[in-house]
Amino acid sequence: MNISRSAITALSALASTHCFARGFSTNRIVSTAFPKVSFLKKPHIFNNNISINNISTSTALPMIFDKLFSSFGGGGGFASKIDYSAIPYPVPDLAAAASEGKVPTEMEGTNGKNYKLATFAGGCFWGLELAFQRVPGVEYTGVGYTQGPETEPNYDAVCAGATGHTEAVVVLYDPNECTYESLLDTFFGRVDPLTVNGQGNDRGSQYRTGVYYHSKEQEIIAKERFELEQGKYAKRKIATECKQALPFWPAEKYHQQYLAKGGRTGSGQSAEKGSTDTIRCYG
């Protein structure tokens, strides 16, 4: 495949420089195989699903990047599949719902209890997930990609801005122990809602912030909170999105509970409930 230097420069400009730097500094290996997506078991019961039927799919831009980078020996990372069945709960169930175009409002945990779901995007998903892991009443968390039209997106494609998704965290919580309002407290306590397409050193539409509601109840609470937050910034409009959640595609196993497992340094950060230790966003 012959590609001119100008074409390479133009395509590279579409990708997030910081995202690639983050990816390559972790010593992870991008699989060159294309395993079939499969599920070890039938998904738990999804209650009160919101079905999203108007999502179109496109593989054009990922294919362009895949051809570009594979020509340099990149191995086709943009097209590599995530084996959701190899990742612990709730990932297989979340992937099963996404594959059906559904946004569940509740899911049954491995302990037989039902939990409500909430989705948030706050820049890099590593630090935000750890913040929610520490919230009493949050039973499960998962990181992944949402609010984009592509199906089965992976880290490389999302990071390049090729899919329209943003990095996000899904939270399964017990409403008897943890209110949606308290989750919003945690979210707004971590993000700068004025920043467009990014947080901290992470820039690009894949790092845009958002609150993505799963139910009418969450929508009402979220919109009221957004009005309150906007009141703090009279002269500037907050950039954080407040929209209905679209299907949530889980990220690779490597990213799940990344900071609690050790992050880049191999020194795990506390996920203990109520912990106030400073979160080191990249480990």
Q: What are phi and psi of 102, to 5 degrees?
A: -105, 150
| Nearest CA among 220, 218, 205 for reference residue 170 | 218
The CB-side HSE value for 57 (13 A sphere, CA atoms) comes to: 11
| Nearest CA among 182, 199, 205, 169 for reference residue 61 | 205
The CB-side HSE value for 47 (13 A sphere, CA atoms) comes to: 9
11-to-15, 62, 66, 229, 278 alpha-carbon distances in Å = 7, 11, 11, 37, 37
| Nearest CA among 100, 79, 103 for reference residue 219 | 103
**Beta strands 114-121 and 210-213: pairing type?**
antiparallel
Sheet strands (E) in the chain: 46-47, 50-51, 102-103, 106-108, 114-121, 138-146, 166-173, 198-199, 202-203, 210-213, 241-244, 249-250
Q: Is 19 a catalytic residue?
A: no
Instruction: Give the DSSP letter of residue 86.
Output: G
CB of 274 within 8 A of CB of 134?
Answer: yes
Q: What are phi and psi of 49, to 5 degrees?
A: -65, 145
**Amino acid letter, residue 131:** A
Of the candidates 19, 124, 159, 178, the residue annotated as catalytic is 124
Give the active site residues: 124
